[in-house]
């Protein structure tokens, strides 16, 4: 397969993507992806994160490779590899479920019941035209894909709650679909029934943030990369009267 041709980026685009780097070493690059930026293959006529990675390509070499993806409207940690061996190593580790992904989700109308546990509900793809959603289904459905999400409530108020989610499988829209399936859709998620108003103000976007990623490093050991809550996410928490608990230890 012919390698993709380099994409010419503007100086502003180069500066922007370099400003989003939160971890870098000889073989890896991790970014704090903002909401609204497609990871790859977006429908809108704008450069994706995959395109912007050309800012890090050395002359005559390929750009870094995406190891996983985030939904366009999800913010937070996303990992890339600078070398082909590192990409192969991380791809195998991801398939073997050796990545620990931690997300923050602002849900309504309050804390899930129970406040913590596991959602072990298979999912299936459902397509209407170009719109693709994931739907809960029975385990024996011919299109069923196993899906497991562990969650716990970090803070709760009368009309909203802050939930930490750890997906152990990597299905499309998994956290969004699983939380909606227990009656706690993510705020701003119109596709899965999320509230579009919160504490008297519009919800600016899907309130889902990839907070941290722990993974085995190609050179040995483990790394943990964390992205702080974006301003719009923190502002929504403040309006709902919710606070992220201080880390222990």
Residues catalogued as catalytic: 71
3-state DSSP percent of the chain in helix, strand and coil, to 5:
20, 30, 50
* 116-119 and 123-128 beta bridge pairing: unpaired
Distance of alpha carbon 155 from alpha carbon 171, whole angstroms: 26
DSSP state letters, 85-147:
HHHHHHHHHHHTT--EEEEEEEESSS--SSSEEEE---EEEEEETTEEEEEE--TTSTT-B--
Collect all residues with Cβ–Cβ distance below 8 Å to 152 and sequence separation of at least 6. 115, 116, 163, 164
């Amino acid at each position: 397969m012919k390698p993709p041709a380099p994409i010419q980026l503007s100086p502003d685009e180069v500066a922007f993507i370099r400003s989003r780097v939160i971890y870098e070493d000889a073989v890896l690059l991790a970014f704090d992806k903002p909401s609204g930026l497609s990871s790859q293959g977006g429908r809108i006529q704008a450069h994706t994160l995959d395109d912007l990675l050309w800012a890090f390509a050395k002359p005559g070499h390929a750009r870094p490779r995406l190891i996983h993806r985030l939904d366009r409207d999800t913010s937070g940690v996303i990992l890339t590899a600078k070398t082909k061996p590192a990409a192969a190593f991380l791809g195998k580790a991801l398939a073997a479920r050796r990545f620990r992904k931690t997300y923050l989700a602002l849900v309504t109308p309050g804390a899930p019941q129970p406040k913590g546990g596991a959602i072990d509900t298979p999912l299936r793809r459902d397509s209407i035209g170009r719109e693709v959603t994931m739907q809960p289904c029975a385990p024996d459905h011919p299109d069923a894909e196993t899906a497991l999400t562990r969650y716990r409530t970090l803070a709760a108020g009368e009309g909203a709650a802050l939930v930490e989610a750890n997906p152990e499988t990597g299905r499309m829209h998994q956290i969004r679909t699983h939380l909606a399936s227990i009656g706690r859709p993510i705020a701003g998620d119109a596709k899965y029934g999320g509230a579009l108003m919160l504490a008297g103000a519009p919800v600016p976007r899907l309130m889902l943030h990839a907070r941290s990623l722990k993974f085995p490093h190609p050179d040995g050991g483990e790394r943990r990369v964390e992205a702080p809550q974006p301003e719009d996410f923190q502002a929504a928490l403040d309006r709902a009267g919710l606070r992220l608990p201080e880390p222990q230890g």
